[in-house]
Amino acid sequence: MIEGALIVLVVLLAVILALAASSVRVLREYERAVIFRLGRVIAMKGPGLVILTPAIDRMVRVSLRTVTLNVPPQDVITRDNVTARVDAVVYFRVVAPNEAVVQVESYLKATSQIAQTTLRSVLGKADLDTILSEREELNEELQKIIDEQTEPWGVKVTTVEIKDVGIPQAMQHAMARQAQAERERRAKVINAEGEFQAAARLSEAADVISKNPTTLQLRYLQTLSEIGVNQNTTVVFPLPMDLIKPVLDSMGQREASAAKELPAGNGATPLIAPTEKVKGEPQR
């Protein structure tokens, strides 16, 4: 009898110890526990030591750390009918463990599905140029929409980032040709602007030279010095008309005065003057 009682006592102690061990939980700093008693939520506990009622209470662990969710690549047709393959990454965390456990079966899977559908919906309303150049605005819009959808689940979406945008090879070639044409257009515009500015400067220089002719002579001497530096067999000297004009004017004045001194008549100039006969000299 005594041995049987001891065996029963040992079994009871083992059962009590097992129940006590199963009723004790230790939660980390970033974990919270949602306690169910007979199917009803009674409390949220943690971190630290949590005591459960054996066979009555059930605990669900929920992590409060930020989760990095990779959204699978999605085939998107943009507003300008271009097929693109876009993938993204979503950062979220649980802020209300009770809602994350009670309101949705799996908040991780649900958030992933919402992110995929929202990505296709938002990017389908934008042009390809907008997707490539205005990612910051699109990221903010995606974050706002996904966060509104997950708020009843106790999930807070902090950041959404578009990682990569894949476009067809033919579209890449077309974009490259477009970029090259744009660069050529800019080069032509810059060249035309440079010629326009150079012509304006030359016009200003001509105005300065016209007011002071001495500057033209200084420029002429400077040009001669520049020509003399090069070792050429043939040298062309630029001769400004302002230097020749005084000489031409003086020559014209001399010709005019000589024309006035000519005798009246037929205008013929005697080449040899008649000689007078000298007395006492025999004639030939």
Q: What is the 3-state secondary structure (H, E, C) of 15-67?
A: HHHHHHHHCEEEECCCEEEEEEECCEEEEEECCEEEECCCCCEEEEEEECCCE
Q: What is the amino acid identity at position 142? A: L
Q: pLDDT > 70: what percent of the chain?
A: 80
Mean pLDDT for the stretch of residues 203-222: 72
Pairing label, strands 67-77, 40-45: unpaired
Element (H, E) at 4: helix 2-22
Q: Where are the domains of the chain?
A: 19-63, 67-167, 168-222
* Distance of alpha carbon 214 from the chain centroid: 53
State the number of CA atoms in the 13 A half-sphere of 152 facing the CB. Answer: 6
Alpha carbon of residue 232 to chain centroid: 51
Question: Helices 107-124 and 135-150 sit at what angle, rounded to 10 degrees?
Answer: 140
What is the pLDDT averaged over residues 42-48? 88
Q: How far apart, in Å, do the first and last CA atoms of the chain sit?
A: 200
Structure tokens at 64: 């409060």
pLDDT of residue 243: 61
Q: Torsions phi, psi of 100, nearest 5? A: -65, -25
DSSP tag of 156: E
CATH fold label, 67-167: Tetrahydropterin Synthase; Chain A (3.30.479)
Give the pLDDT band (50/70/90) at residue 278.
Answer: very low
Contact 46, 27 (CB under 8 A): yes
Q: What is the mean pLDDT of residues 210-233?
A: 68
- pLDDT digit string, tens, across residues 238-271: 565 666 677 677 777 777 777 776 555 444 444 4
Pick from 87-96, 116-125, 191-200, 205-214: least confident: 205-214
List, for residues 88-145, the tens digit of each pLDDT value: 999 999 999 999 999 999 999 999 999 999 999 999 999 888 888 889 999 999 999 9
